[in-house]
């Protein structure tokens, strides 16, 4: 057991976002968090990271080295900054050496000459790969990815996920993933946690719990399923 | 009067340099908008100093520092965006200044009086500039990270609230110093313009920082030297120099990208 969450309640601005949530995560699992917009997916991740106040129990059984790729960290944030990719990595607490960086960039499929390019001038896919490297370079054993493929075209998104999957296999990581991509959910997740605001959640392996009715409950009527690719 | 000129030049170099450096941290709109209102908040302090005849620095410092702390507390308590709070502070500064400052004396508060700076004040300027330079150097990387995405900084273990306070206080000190050189109204420009020019020509952080400091110093020295020979107010001349550098940097910007 790595993480146990029991009767978790989280409120933002006096509004209950998460209510009576319980689930467990074992070492080396991939937990996918599903839910409509506003269901509290990012709130859950931030709570587990210790950024938000909560009631209930959140127990980490070992001290973990955590990596986090927040939602909304898109390229617009660095578009106009005079920041090379190397500069961007040097902002980390323990800034990695050039050799270390080059090996991690290679791991995510980037050329080393990218280090001297402006972070804002990379393509969307390159930028996202760079962010994955940014998270990995600190050698975390638990990673939180909050919609890591936002703003990337479908093909690019799939490469990112297969990249994550191969790294996950190699490094025996535990991954918390927020995504809307059902393909990914079925293909890679150990467990799925689905959220909506009405004290209703489901938790279990994707093939067992993700039936059309359950999805209808989570996302509401207007979402037609399996149109995601 | 050579002595006075040397003092002016020394304080100009330091104020120009530190303003340029500090300005490079104002990467986002949210950040860059704070310096202006703080500069205006110096006005009532400057007004009091002029009326009662004490040093402008003594007048400006408490008001600006208080303003910085006020913005910091209000942002924590109210969650209002910094630009809203800054607008309130701005209104307060200009309003109270106009209330108490005799119009005839307004010029000094508006355009600064670095040409009358004393050796004591120059000494203060140098000490404070070096201090702020050190503080900014220490918090620089994490401030950039916070600018990009605050959660990234938090996960790296940065106390974002403390860093914001140090940053605001640094702006406050530089603004109070800048009131000498260019006056309350255009101090913000002294912070923003060199950094903007530097951004135009830089690809990476190091070049950005170095060129912003350099442009700040060149603007200050240029303005001071020119107005020694031509009868013009020094503060505005410094800004004109800054803007000329900016215009030149635009040309290079188009070439390099």
Nearest to B186 by CA among B242, B126, B130: B242
Task: Please give the pLDDT value at position B106.
Answer: 65
Task: Please give the pLDDT value at position B176.
Answer: 83
Does residue A162 sit in the same domain as residue A221?
A: yes
Residue A69 in domain: no
Pick the CATH number of B2-187 from 1.10.3470.10, 3.40.50.300, 1.20.1530.20, 3.20.20.70: 1.10.3470.10
A93 CB neighbours in chain B (<8 A) are 156-157
Does residue A145 sit in the same domain as residue A50?
A: yes
Does residue A5 sit in the same domain as residue A45?
A: yes
Residue A70 in domain: no
B31 CB neighbours in chain A (<8 A) are none
Does residue A115 sit in the same domain as residue A85?
A: yes
pTM of the predicted model over 0.90: no
What ipTM did this prediction achieve?
A: 0.81
Tell me the shortest Cα–Cα distance from A126 to chain B, in angstroms.
17
Find residue A84's DSSP bridge partners: A118
* Helix axes of B35-52 and B82-100: crossing angle, nearest 10 degrees: 20
How many domains would you assign to chain A?
2
Task: Please give the pLDDT value at position B241.
Answer: 94
Is pLDDT larger for residue B232 or for residue A218? B232
- Write out residues 138-157 of B within 8 Å (CB-CB) of A: 141-142, 144-145, 147-149, 151-152, 154-157
Task: Please give the pLDDT value at position B226.
Answer: 94
Does residue A154 sit in the same domain as residue A117?
A: no
Question: Which H helix or E strand runs over A204?
Answer: strand A200-204
Q: A77 and B148 in contact by Cβ < 8 A?
A: yes
Task: Please give the pLDDT value at position A63.
Answer: 78
pLDDT digits (tens, 9 = 90+) for A63-100: 788 888 887 777 777 887 899 999 999 998 877 888 88
Which of A51, A77, A82 has the CB atom closest to B149's CB atom? A77
Does the beta carbon of B210 lie under 8 angstroms from any beta carbon of chain A? no
> Which structural domain, as residue segments, surrounds residue A190?
1-64+141-166+173-229
Residue owning tokens 């503080």: B135
| Domain parsing of chain B, residue ranges | 2-187
Tell me the shortest Cα–Cα distance from B210 to chain A, in angstroms.
12
pLDDT at A199 over 70: no
Does residue A149 sit in the same domain as residue A117?
A: no
Find residue B213's DSSP bridge partners: none
Q: Look over chain A and give the mean of its residue pLDDT values, rounded to a whole number.
A: 82
CA B53 – CA B49 distance, rounded (Å): 5
Domain endpoint, select from A91, A124, A139: A139
DSSP state of A96: P
Task: Please give the pLDDT value at position A226.
Answer: 52
Which of B27, B144, B203 has the CB atom closest to A91's CB atom? B144
Task: Please give the pLDDT value at position B81.
Answer: 75
Mean pLDDT of A52-61: 88
Residue A199 in domain: yes
Q: Check if the beta carbon of residue A181 is closer than 8 Å to that of residue A148.
A: no
SS (H, E, C) B89-152: HHHHHHHHHHHHCCHHHHHHHHHCCHHHCCHHHHHHHHHHHHHHHHHHHHHHHHHHHHHHCHHH
In 3-state terms, what secondary structure has residue A20? strand
Contacts of B245 (CB under 8 A, 6+ apart): B193, B194, B197, B215, B218, B219
Residue A22's pLDDT band (cuts 50, 70, 90): confident
Task: Please give the pLDDT value at position A174.
Answer: 92
Task: Please give the pLDDT value at position A12.
Answer: 83
pLDDT at A33 over 70: yes
Mean pLDDT of A35-52: 85
Tell me the shortest Cα–Cα distance from B26 to chain A, in angstroms.
10
CA B176 – CA B58 distance, rounded (Å): 9
Does residue A130 sit in the same domain as residue A146?
A: no
Residue A197 in domain: yes
The share of chain A scoring above pLDDT 90, in percent, equals 8
Mean pLDDT of A128-144: 88
Tell me the shortest Cα–Cα distance from B140 to chain A, in angstroms.
9
Does residue A60 sit in the same domain as residue A96?
A: no
Residue A93 in domain: yes
Does residue A34 sit in the same domain as residue A127?
A: no
A146 CB neighbours in chain B (<8 A) are none
Residue A227's pLDDT band (cuts 50, 70, 90): very low
Residues with pLDDT less than 50, chain B? 255-257
Task: Please give the pLDDT value at position B36.
Answer: 75
CA A206 – CA A185 distance, rounded (Å): 7
Does residue A50 sit in the same domain as residue A1?
A: yes
pLDDT at A223 over 60: no
pLDDT digits (tens, 9 = 90+) for A6-19: 888 888 888 888 88
Q: Which two tokens stand for residue B174?
A: 């530089």
Mean pLDDT of A36-55: 86
Q: A73 and B152 in contact by Cβ < 8 A?
A: yes
B157 CB neighbours in chain A (<8 A) are 93
Residue A110 in domain: yes
Does the beta carbon of B256 lie under 8 angstroms from any beta carbon of chain A? no
Q: Check if the beta carbon of residue B115 is closer than 8 Å to that of residue B4.
A: yes
Does residue A13 sit in the same domain as residue A121?
A: no
Task: Please give the pLDDT value at position B256.
Answer: 44
- The CATH number linked to A206 is 3.40.50.300
CA A84 – CA A42 distance, rounded (Å): 29
pLDDT at A198 over 50: yes
Cα B10 to Cα B136, B142, B181: the distances in Å are 21, 31, 11
CA B105 – CA B113 distance, rounded (Å): 12
Does residue A50 sit in the same domain as residue A152?
A: yes
């Amino acid at each position: 057991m790595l993480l146990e969450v029991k009767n978790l309640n989280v409120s933002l601005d006096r509004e209950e976002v998460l209510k009576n949530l319980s689930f467990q995560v074992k070492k080396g699992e991939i937990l996918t968090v599903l839910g409509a917009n506003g269901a509290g997916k990012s709130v859950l991740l931030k709570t587990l990271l210790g950024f938000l106040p909560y009631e209930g129990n959140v127990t980490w059984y070992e001290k973990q080295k955590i990596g986090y790729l927040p939602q909304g960290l898109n390229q617009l944030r660095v578009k106009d900054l005079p920041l090379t990719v190397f500069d961007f990595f040097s902002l980390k607490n323990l800034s990695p050496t050039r050799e270390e960086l080059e090996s991690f960039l290679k791991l995510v499929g980037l050329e080393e000459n990218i280090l001297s390019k402006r972070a804002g001038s990379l393509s969307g896919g390159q930028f996202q790969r760079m962010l994955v490297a940014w998270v990995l370079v600190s050698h975390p054993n638990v990673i939180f990815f909050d919609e890591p493929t936002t703003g990337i075209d479908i093909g690019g998104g799939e490469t990112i996920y297969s990249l994550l999957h191969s790294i996950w296999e190699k490094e025996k990581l535990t991954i918390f993933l927020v995504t809307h991509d059902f393909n990914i959910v079925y293909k890679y997740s150990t467990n799925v946690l689905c959220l909506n605001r009405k004290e209703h959640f489901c938790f279990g392996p994707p093939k067992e719990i993700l039936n059309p009715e359950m999805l209808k409950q989570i996302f509401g009527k207007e979402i037609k399923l399996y149109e995601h690719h | 009067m050579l002595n006075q000129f040397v003092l002016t030049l020394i304080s100009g170099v330091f104020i120009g340099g530190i303003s340029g450096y500090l300005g490079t941290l104002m990467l986002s709109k949210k950040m860059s908008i704070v310096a202006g209102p703080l500069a205006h908040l110096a006005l009532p302090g400057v007004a009091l100093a002029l009326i009662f005849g004490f040093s402008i620095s003594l007048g400006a410092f408490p008001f600006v520092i208080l303003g910085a702390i006020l913005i910091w507390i209000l942002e924590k308590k109210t969650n209002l965006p910094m630009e809203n709070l800054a607008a309130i502070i701005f209104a307060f500064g200009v309003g109270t200044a106009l209330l108490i400052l005799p119009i005839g004396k307004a010029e000094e508060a508006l355009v600064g009086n670095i040409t009358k700076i004393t050796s004591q004040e120059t000494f203060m300027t140098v000490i404070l500039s070096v201090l702020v330079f050190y503080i900014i150097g220490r918090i620089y990387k994490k401030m950039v990270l916070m600018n990009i995405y605050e959660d990234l900084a938090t996960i790296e273990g940065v106390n974002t609230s403390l860093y914001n306070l140090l940053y605001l206080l640094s702006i406050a000190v530089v603004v109070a110093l800048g009131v000498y050189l260019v006056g309350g109204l255009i101090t913000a420009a002294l912070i923003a313009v060199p950094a903007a020019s530097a951004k135009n020509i830089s690809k990476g952080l190091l070049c950005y920082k170095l060129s912003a400091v350099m442009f700040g110093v060149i603007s200050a020295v240029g303005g001071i030297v020119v107005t020694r020979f031509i009868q013009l107010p020094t503060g505005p001349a410094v800004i004109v120099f800054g803007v000329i550098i900016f215009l030149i940097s635009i040309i290079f910007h188009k070439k390099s990208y």
